[in-house]
Amino acid sequence: MGKRNNSESGVIMFTSAKGGSGCSFMVNSISSCLALKTTANILLLDMNIGKRDSRTAFDVDEQAARDFGDIEEIVKDMDTQVLRKLVLNLESSLNIILPPLKMDRTGILKKENLNIFIECLRDHFDIILVDMPYYLFSYIDMVEVDIADRIVFVTLPDIYSVSNCRILMNHIEYIRPGIDRYMVVNKYNIRASISPTGLANILKYPVTAFIPYDRDIEFLVQTRGPFQMFNYNLRIVKSIKDLSMKIYEELWQ
Ligand SMILES: Nc1ncnc2c1ncn2[C@@H]1O[C@H](COP(=O)(O)OP(=O)(O)OP(=O)(O)O)[C@@H](O)[C@H]1O
Ligand SMILES: [Mg+2]
């Protein structure tokens, strides 16, 4: 832990309007890429309460690991020591904060708690990447909570995903007007049930990156974790690296 850059921290929230769009895949890969390729102190904050996806992806020992449910009672006394116990250090000095597996441990979501929590994270990390399930937008008052500087929307290229993504974008535009956004169309090569024009008409927003689906990479990530993909010179890896660097370089502009 400990910030390496003197500049402000950047909080980038990843979300998608439909389950299985690849939101966790993208945030896990981009966090790993930034930890590998930059000197910034990176934190991945997984907000998926009740899901063990990030534990599985990064092969975390479930018994030993703490999660943000453990601090719901003491968040007002958050300090470096509490944070040190909560944060797990992964490969390439990527840091992660896990969600509680018990679904009723939602104390952190109260707006005053969440503000203290995020502020404390901003004090200790250069870049914080948040894996944010869309249903939390109906819980969290984003006007009152300073949880993101930038938002990455991940969508599949089918009509349901894209239409629902537009609804989510409208909601964010309404509560956080002018917030910087990236639009990522994932698995564009296998779910092309909507034409590029159709996509543009619904989204009404430029696409930042098209990420292909790659079966070997899916298998690799599931068996050996997200870091491994950066050993391969594949189109999907290049797209993820380019997107990671774009996000990184634009963060402090
Ligand atoms: N571009 C891709 N190439 C290969 N595999 C991918 C790609 N995108 C996603 N996957 C895989 O597809 C599956 C679903 O992705 P993921 O779990 O990231 O979706 P999600 O949006 O986080 O879903 P949830 O709603 O459950 O949180 C995972 O097995 C993931 O590894
Ligand atoms: Mg997920």
Q: Which of 15, 24, 130, 155 to mutate to test the pocket of ligand 1 (most atoms within 8 A of CB)?
A: 24
Number of CB atoms found within 10 A of residue 78's CB: 18
> Does ligand 1 have an atom closer than 6 angstroms to the CB of 21?
yes
Closest CA to 45 of 83, 91, 13: 13
Q: How far apart are CA 243 and CA 227, in angstroms?
A: 16
Kindly state if the Cβ of 157 falls inside 6 Å of ligand 1.
Answer: no
pTM for this prediction: 0.96
Find out whether the beta carbon of 24 lies less than 6 Å from any atom of ligand 1.
yes
- Give me the residue spans of the domains in the chain: 10-251
* Gap from CA of 247 to ligand 2 centroid (Å): 20
Secondary structure (3-state) at 104: coil
Q: Most distant CA pair in the chain: distance in Å?
A: 52
* Residue in 25, 155, 220 to alter for ligand 1 test, most ligand atoms within 8 A of Cβ: 25
140 lines ligand 1 (CB under 6 A): no
Rounded (5°) CA angle 242-42-66: 130
Which bin fits 26, alpha (ψ -120 to 50), beta or left (φ > 0)?
A: alpha
> Which residue has the least CA distance to atom 4 on ligand 1?
218
Task: Return d(Cα 207, Cα 80) in angstroms, integer.
Answer: 39
**Measured in angstroms, how far is the CA atom of residue 80 from the centroid of ligand 1?**
33
Q: Alpha helices of the chain — where are they, by DSSP H?
A: 23-37, 53-57, 80-86, 111-124, 159-175, 196-203, 215-224, 235-251
CA distances from 10 to 42, 73, 118, 151, 249 (A): 10, 26, 11, 11, 11
pLDDT in tens, the chain (253 residues): 667 666 678 999 999 999 999 999 999 999 999 999 999 999 999 999 999 999 999 999 887 789 999 998 899 888 999 999 999 999 888 999 999 999 999 999 999 999 999 999 999 999 999 999 999 998 888 888 888 999 999 999 999 999 999 999 999 999 999 999 999 999 999 866 788 888 889 999 999 999 999 999 999 999 999 999 999 999 999 999 999 999 999 997 7
Which ligand 1 atom sits nearest the alpha carbon of residue 215? 4
The Cα 43–Cα 26 span in angstroms is 14
- Report how far ligand 2's centroid is from the alpha carbon of 185 (Å): 15
Contact present, 47 and 130 (Cβ < 8 Å): yes
pLDDT of residue 192: 62
Beta bridge partners of 186: 211
Q: Which atom of ligand 1 is nearest to the CA of 212?
A: 1
CATH number listed for the domain at residues 10-251: 3.40.50.300
Please, which residues bridge with residue 151 across strands? 13, 181
